[in-house]
């Protein structure tokens, strides 16, 4: 199975990235995590993206807040799918700035974008990308959906209103 690259702009993004790594681990998907900044370590970020395909990656998840240029900078250097996680909770408007920076990409350099701090959904989207050609993983994702639905229905049945 190909692996997922997870790049965060700084270690302050770790709580959001942890949601992604936990999800990937639960599905048995290998991953690598790195801290590369679009602004402070642009050469390292570009090198990671440029070499990701030959290094066995299927997709890249990029988590960044504030200016949130990381996902776009990585996408500019690869044709692998890049999934952006805008990170919020800093000094600015609860991640809206990061969301807009991540989602507003020019034509030709797409970045799939999940919700602010949406590490779990980023991992699930990466898993779905791999599952296009991996039947066993597709079955795991189908089972996860069923399990999640059962949890909601159990909570519904337990309502005492």
Give the per-residue pLDDT at 90. 62
> Could you tell me the domains of the chain?
3-134 (3.40.50.1970)
Query: For the segment 125-140, what is each residue's pLDDT rounded down to a tens digit?
Result: 999 999 999 999 999 9
Give the per-residue pLDDT at 5. 98
Report, as an integer, the average pLDDT of 100-127.
96
Nearest-Å Rg of the Cα atoms of the chain is 16
Query: For the segment 15-54, what is each residue's pLDDT rounded down to a tens digit?
Result: 999 999 999 999 999 999 999 999 999 999 999 999 999 9
Mean pLDDT of the chain: 95
Q: What is the pTM of this model?
A: 0.94
Contacts of 39 (CB under 8 A, 6+ apart): 67, 69
Give the per-residue pLDDT at 19. 98
Strand partners, 65: 87
Give the per-residue pLDDT at 92. 60
Strand partners, 4: 31, 59
């Amino acid at each position: 199975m190909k692996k997922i690259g997870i790049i965060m702009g700084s270690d302050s993004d770790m709580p959001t990235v942890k949601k992604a790594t936990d999800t990937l681990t639960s599905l048995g998907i290998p991953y690598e995590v790195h801290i590369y900044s679009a602004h402070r370590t642009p050469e390292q970020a570009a090198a990671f993206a440029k070499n990701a395909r030959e290094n066995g990656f299927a997709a890249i998840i990029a988590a960044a807040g504030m200016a949130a240029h990381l996902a776009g900078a990585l996408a500019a250097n690869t044709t692998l799918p890049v999934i952006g996680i805008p990170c919020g909770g800093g000094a600015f408007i609860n991640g809206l700035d990061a969301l807009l920076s991540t989602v507003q990409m020019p034509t030709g350099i797409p970045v799939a974008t999940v919700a602010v701090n949406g590490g779990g959904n980023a991992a699930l989207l990466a898993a779905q990308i791999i599952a296009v050609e991996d039947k066993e993983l597709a079955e795991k994702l189908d089972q996860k959906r069923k399990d999640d639905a059962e949890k909601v229905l159990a909570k519904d049945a337990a309502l005492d209103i």
